[in-house]
Every structure is written in structure tokens, then in C-alpha cells.
Structure 1
Amino acid sequence: MPNNFALGNGKPWSRRQLLKLGLAGAGITGTAGLWQMLNLPSKSIVKVPPFNRSAPDDVTNPMKMLRDFDYGTVKQENGRTIREFQLTAGSSIIKLNSAVSYNIWDLNGRIPGPTLRAKQGDRIRVLFLNNAGHSHSLHFHGVHPAEMDGVRPISNGNATIYEFDAEPYGVHLYHCHIEPVTRHIAKGLYGMFIIDPPTPRPPADEIVLVMSGYDVNDDSHNDYYAFNGLPHYYMHNPIQIYKDQLIRLYVLNIIEYDPAVTFHLHANFFDVYRYGMTMTPSEKADVITMGVAERHILEFAFRYPGKYMFHPHQDAIAENGCMGQFEVLTESNSQNPAKSS
């Protein structure tokens, strides 16, 4: 932990000053300690199959990431709700398959970074520590002052605080914005940021899917693709959901080097809530085109049990890792949780 921190106003603050604010100490290097529920409707009627959260390694855990939302630590300051998150950039090596390992940058020891979640109107405070061996930053999509835009480099071993109001509601993202931005994103410094609307959405089984690519040869061309960090994972470990259960899919395309991809769901159609910024769907489709950093909410339910694929409709992207399956269950055949492999 460095003795000085470069904060959002550009001035170095001492460790003692941070301690007075309750923002320093060992806690800044870890994940958010408290997981708080928002003022959401009761989820007692939402059916989620049991699943195995065991990780294939310490960084990639696609099964856990599906329904893993970080609500931060909630505080009250001057009558306002402060939702505080802790994000630490680091470096790791992941195995893309049995033969290929790849050096990445990670956030809180995982790729993608944590799915941060708040409610519109919350005050967001992000404590960012850079331990990744290179200058980095965090740029949040949304509305905030210029000094919180996350374009100023934070050198290795230093930290900063980003603070802003959570607005507008929708599905957003955050990522490193240090040049070359494409490379910093492609190597793992990104995550989803969900701001829930003032009026909660109907209860649903909520699932996160982040599409990404890996340029292992450093030639500005992706060699592998993935949902939630690991190529082909959900083909071998289908996502189990229940028949007739409303599924709310938060989908983000963060594939660099490819200008756009599609997302296709087999044997069904979904309602599209573009950028998650509406309470009523704009259209119904089974294929949607998404540019880099584009994200939406897709809602659907399956009538029939069985396994159904999802993937981009660009064959090279799907066949090189960005492909998975939903396994639709009836309650009678959901006794065994999905296993990781």
C-alpha cells in the first residue's frame, strides 16, 4: 500500500487523511465486504436452479459470475445513501484452453470485473487501487462531472477515488481508459455497472453475459472469444434455468478489434430493452446487433424443457469460444446442480 494516494482532484492525499475519511487500510485492496440488497420486490417467486460455484481457476469463474452482483457497502452521510465499492487492478495468467495460457489484467482478481449494482439516485464512491504494474484508470459510462471521468492515469502502486451520482438508470459499463484503450480493455479491465430504476422491474431470474475477445498474438485480431471470461465454457456447462420462468439477461458486448457482433437465442424470441433505459420493450427479436460497448436487457421465458444454444451469428466468433447453452428444466429434473469443468 503506498503512503500517498492520487485522488480524483489530482492532489496526493496522505494515508492519514484517508484514514480520517475511513477510506484507507487493508480494506481498499479487497472486494466489497458487505453485500446489500436494494429496495427490490420480493424474489420469493423467482425460481433459480441450484448450481455449483466452484471455479476452474482463481480468476475465471463463469458459473458464479452469472448471478453475482456487487451492491457495495452502504453508508449514510448527510442524509444521503453512499454506495461504496472497492476495485483493485492486478495481473494474472488464465488458461483459455488446455494448450493456451494468456496474461491478463484483472479487477478484484477476476475477469470480467465485478458487476456493480446500485439504484438511481445513490451516491457512488469507487475506491480504485492500481497494482497491475502499468498505469490504468476506470472510466464509467453514465453522467458525472469531468473530474470523475476516469481518463487520468493512475500509476502503479497508487490509488484514486471516483465519486458521482448513479444516473441515469440502465445497463452501463466501466473500463480502463488509458492508451492504447483497446488493448487495456481487451486484456481484461472492464465490467458491467447496473443502475436500477426508481420503480423496480418485475421479479425475474437475472443473469449477466459479457462477450469478450482475446488477441493472444498481439496482432489486433482476436484468436478466441468468450462469454464471462472463458471460451466455450457454457457449451460444456449449460446455464440451467426453469421452464416458464422469466429470464432477465443483461448482455454487454466488449469485444475489441471486431466492429460489431450479434447475439442470437435459439428456439425463442426476447423482448429488447435498449441500454436498459426503458421500462417497456422497444422490440421483439431473436437476433440483435451490438457494437463495441453496447449493452441491453433481454427478457424471455422458455416453454419447453431441453438445451438451447445462444451465440453470435458470426460463425468464426461463435466457433472460437463465444457459444453456450441454456438447459431448461422442470422442477422435477433440477436436483443436481450444474458442475464446472
Structure 2
Amino acid sequence: MPLPRLGGIATGVALVVVAVLIGAAAQHLTSGDPATVAAAAAVTPTGHTTTVAVTAADMRFRPARITVPAGDRLVIELTNTDQRRHDLVLQTGAKTGLVGAGHTARLDAGIIGGPVDGWCSLPGHRQAGMTLAITTTGGHEHMAATTPAPGATPSPAATVDPMADPGRDFRARDAAAPSVPAGRLHTISLHVREVQLEVAPGVRQTMWTYNGTVPGPTLRGRIGDTFEVTLTNDGSVDHGVDFHAGALAPDTAMRPIEPGQSLTYRFTATKAGIWMYHCSTMPMLLHLGNGMYGAVIIDPPDLAPVDREYALVQSELFLGGDLAKMRAGQPDAVMFNGYAAQYTHAPLTAHPGDRVRFWVLDAGPNRSTSFHVVGAQFDTVYAEGRYQLRPSDPGGAQVLPLSPAGGGFVETVFAAPGHYPFVDHAMADADSGARGAIEVTAR
């Protein structure tokens, strides 16, 4: 869920002060888009300077458009009224550097001869709409170039082949659900880390993670348990965390923290289910799409023991952390527990007669799932906080359907040895890597 605005709210009305300077102003240009630089060079300087006050907050510059007379020198006084760092980079190459919360930076944009684009260069901020357009009255007009934002990660040439063999040394993520820890207070440390991970056979990319894994560690407890989570940002940009398993005002607990900072997030679980946690920093889609999510299992009262218990978090993979693909809903793969089709290469295990429980969380960020085990029928279905089917009921279930951020569990008993595939029954997603298998062997 989006965070409420924190701190002061910008009015959106900029103060524009036009000062007349005596004598011609020397032209100030930095390396940047050649067409923009050429337009500035071709215009006759007016000897005037236009100074514009701009605020940065809520993924927007206000005003988002500045119009100055062609030939004027433009000075932008950027004030960051947000609780996060921002910067302003112009197409000409001029930039402020990072501006902390509550601080102001002065940017000499030089002589303006035509349209110039500006943006915040922090990951995802430009794509989320944090842009500034500079236009002129009179003088040269040209189409602004589409220079990519500095720091943006281009989509790599790599593609995902879920059928590829990951090799003899491949080790799948342990899908066993954690047991319920002793005590009623659970103290957890989460470290934001930027880690290069293999996400499919032969495909590696840098992911934003909690504790170095995608998904982050699966936590577990009971109704009434208290979780005290210390989040430390060891990454290079601001991050936060939102635990759906807790109910509390997000203003402080879910605030983004800068690199090197920590915060403590404390909540008491009052409702059962498998709950999502994820980065709470905008644009949230970018942080989720880059791996910042995990699961918290809160057991329903009197949850019966089973022979085996697995936790599967389904999510989408976007090569290169491509926000445009995320927005278009075009993942390069769909995966369980952070690796495309990993449990086809290293199947989960069971024995005939075992009752097996599958906890499933759909981390999205965009697609629903329809979890199905081929050759099995579910006699227990628990979804979003309630039982939909129990073993004593005459009916059965073939899928566990979940929307993004939804979770639940299903149970089945495997009667005979064999290999039982499990899939997201949205077949395009199964083909893209949302599949695995359970190998059932005689005792």
C-alpha cells in the first residue's frame, strides 16, 4: 500500500524571480545532449537571469514545467521537502548532486536556448514521474532528446530458458517451511543487501534483497506473538519494509531509511495466515520487482501437524530491473522462491501416505496464481484467513487461486510413488518457470 505523505506538503506554486543583470552573461554549459547544447550555443544571451524555486516531494518536482525567455540564464533553487534524498539532472549534463531531506541546492542551468528535460536520477524515480520540463518563449525550438536517466539499468541481452540445465552443482533453495520458534517475542534482523544472484540457469543479475536472498527469510509465529524487526539498510538507495502481518500506522514504522541507517519495526500478530512483507519505498513496483519481499506465517489456532510442510513464494522476474516491463506486466520469467523452475531440477520430496502442506504466497507484483499439483487433489484449503475446505468435507479442490499479496495453504496425501508436477495453472506462467515437482518415493 502507498505510504501517506510525510512532512510538509508542497504548494505546487513556484516562486519565479526575474533579475536583470548588467552586461552579458557568460554562457555556462556542461557536457550533455549535443542537440540541447547546440540550441543553447545558437541563441543570443539576453543578459537576464531567471531564478526558479522548485520543490521535490512525493515523486514529483513542483512546478514540473518551467518556461523562460530564450537566451536567459536559468538558475534553479531545488528544495527537498520530502523525507528521502533526491537530485536533479538536466539533459545538458548539469546536476545538483544528492539533496538531503530539508536541504536546498542551487543549480546553474546555463543559457537556455530550447526545451531541456530534467529528472531525478535515483533508481526508478524518473520512471515514476519525477521529471522536469524546461521550455522557452521565442528562440530555437527542438524536440527534447530521450536521454536515459543516469543510473538506469538497461535490459540485458540475456534471456531466461526455464528448460535449461543449471548444472551438477545446482542447489535449490530449501522450501521447507520453518517451524514455530519458542517463546512469544521473536527478534529478527533484516539487512538490505544488493546481491548478484543466479535467477535462472546461466542468468545472473543484481537483486535488492532482505538478508541476501529472494525472497527474504520466511518468518513464523502464532497469534499473539510479537515480532521485533531491526531493519538495516546496507544498500545504495533508500529502502523500508511493510509487514502485512501487523496492523499499525505506517508513518514511522514503514518510512524509507537511507543507506547506513536502521529502524526497529515492532508488531503483534493478531490474525492467522501467510502474510507478505515487502519494501515500502516508492516506486514500490520497482522495489518489489527487484526482489524485496518475503513471507510471514502465522499459524491458525490448533493447526494440525503434517508429515511435510513447504513454503512457496511465487513472483515475477524482470531482467535488468526494467520498470517499463514491470508496468506493462511483461516479466521475463515467473518463479517459485526466486529461481525459475528450480524444483524441476531439484524436486521436493515425500513418501506415500504423507500428508503434505503447501503454504503459498503470491508476491506478484502483478500476476495472480492458480496453484495446482498434477495427479493430486486437495482435501484442505485455507486462503486469506479462513478454511474453505476440510478433510471431513465430501468435496475436493484442484487449485488454490490467489491474487497478488494473497496467501494460504493446501494439503494433500500422496497415495503412490511417482513424480507429481506442481504448477501455476495459468499455463503461460508455468511455461515461464512457475513450476516444479514433488518426488514421492517408497520408504
Q: Which one of 175, 196, 202 corresponds to residue 93 of structure 1?
A: 196
Match in the other structure for 2:397: 285
For 2:182 and 2:234, locate their aligned partners in 1 and report how far apart those are by CA, in whole Å. 22
Any stretches of 5+ residues in structure 2 without a counterpart? Answer: 1-167
Matched-pair contact (CA < 8 Å) for 1:276–1:297: no
* 72 and 141 in structure 1: CA distance in 2 versus 1, 3 angstrom threshold: same
**Structure 1 residue 234: Cα displacement:** 0.8
Q: Does 1:135 align with 2:274?
A: no
Alignment of 1:188-203 (within 5 A): 188-203=291-306
Distance across 1 between alignment mates of 2:376 and 2:433: 22
Partner of 1:313: 425
- In the TM superposition, what are the counterparts of 1:165-180 in structure 2 within 5 Å? 165-180=268-283
Alignment coverage as a number of residue pairs: 266
Letter in 1 for 2:411: E
Correspondence list, 1:81-120, <5 A: 81-120=184-223
Tell me, in whole angstroms, the C-alpha distance in 2 between the residues paired with 1:243 and 1:128: 42
2:313 is the alignment partner of 1:210: yes
8 Å CA contact retained: 1:275, 1:297: no
Q: What is the alpha-carbon distance in structure 2 between the residues aligned to residue 272 and residue 189 of structure 1? A: 27
Correspondent of 1:249 among 327, 333, 358 = 358
Shift of 1:276: 4.8
Q: 1:98/1:288 Cα in 2 relative to 1: closer, same or farther (>3 Å)? A: closer
In the other structure, the counterpart of 2:128 is none
Tell whether 2:383 aligns with 1:274. Answer: yes
CA distance in 2, matches of 1:143, 1:101: 34
The residue that corresponds to 1:322 in the other structure is 434
**What are the ranges of 5 or more consecutive residues in structure 1 without an aligned counterpart?**
1-53, 75-80, 332-341
Partners of 2:273 and 2:407 within 8 A in 1 = no
Q: How far 1:203 moved relative to its partner? A: 3.3
* Cross-structure match for 2:266: 163
1:47-76 CA distance string (max 9 Å, x none): xxxxxxx984xxxx6442x115276785xx
> Are the structure 2 counterparts of residues 124 and 268 from structure 1 closer, same or farther at C-alpha, using a change threshold of 3 Å?
same
In 1: Cα distance, 2:293 partner to 2:337 partner: 11
Contact 1:73 1:85 survives alignment (8 Å): no
Matches of 1:228 and 1:142, distance apart in 2: 20
**Residues 186 and 302 of structure 1: CA distance in aligned 2, closer, same or farther (over 3 Å):** same
- What is the rounded CA distance, in whole Å, between the counterparts of 1:55 and 1:201 in structure 2? 36
Residue type matched to 2:289 in 1? A
Q: Is the 8 A contact 1:261 1:291 kept in 2?
A: yes
Counterpart residue identity of residue 96, structure 1: V
- Residue 103 of structure 1 and its aligned partner are, at CA, apart by 1.5
Q: Find the structure with the greater CA-based Rg.
A: 2
Q: TM-score, normalised by structure 2?
A: 0.56
**Matches of 1:55 and 1:192, distance apart in 2:** 27
CA contact (8 A) 2:245 2:296 kept: no
Deviation of the 1:291 alpha carbon? 1.0
Q: Is the 8 A contact 1:70 1:114 kept in 2?
A: no
State the 1:107 CA deviation.
Answer: 1.1
- Does structure 2 retain, via aligned residues, the 8 Å contact 1:201–1:279? no
RCO higher in 1 or 2 (8 Å CA, sep ≥ 6)?
A: 1
**1:231 maps to 2:340:** yes
Does structure 1 residue 125 correspond to structure 2 residue 237?
A: no
Q: Provide the rounded CA distance (Å) in 2 between the counterparts of 1:296 and 1:103.
A: 30
Distance 1:128 1:243 in 2: 42
Q: CA RMSD in A?
A: 2.4
Deviations 1:263-302 (A, max 9, x none): 1211111121113544964973112322111111111111
| Amino acid in structure 1 at the alignment position of 2:375 | A
Alignment of 1:291-302 (within 5 A): 291-302=403-414
Sequence identity, in percent? 29
Distance 1:109 1:323 in 2: 23
Q: CA deviation at 1:327?
A: 0.7
Q: Which amino acid aligns with 2:433?
A: G
Distance change >3 Å, CA 55–CA 69, structure 1 → 2: farther
Q: Which amino acid aligns with 2:193?
A: G
Q: Secondary structure at the match of 2:315?
A: strand
Q: Take 1:308 and 1:199, find their aligned partners in 2: how far apart are those partners?
A: 29
How many angstroms does 1:176 deviate by?
A: 0.7
The equivalent of 1:146 in structure 2 is 249
Q: Retained in 1: the 8 A contact 2:191–2:231?
A: yes
Q: TM-score, normalised by structure 1?
A: 0.72
Deviation sequence 1:316-340 (CA, Å, 0-9, x none): 2111211111111110xxxxxxxxx
Question: Does the residue aligned with 2:212 lie in a helix, a strand or coil?
Answer: coil
Residues 159 and 250 (structure 1), Cα distance of their counterparts in 2 relative to 1, 3 Å cut: same
- How far 1:171 moved relative to its partner? 1.4
Compute the displacement of 1:147 (Å): 4.7
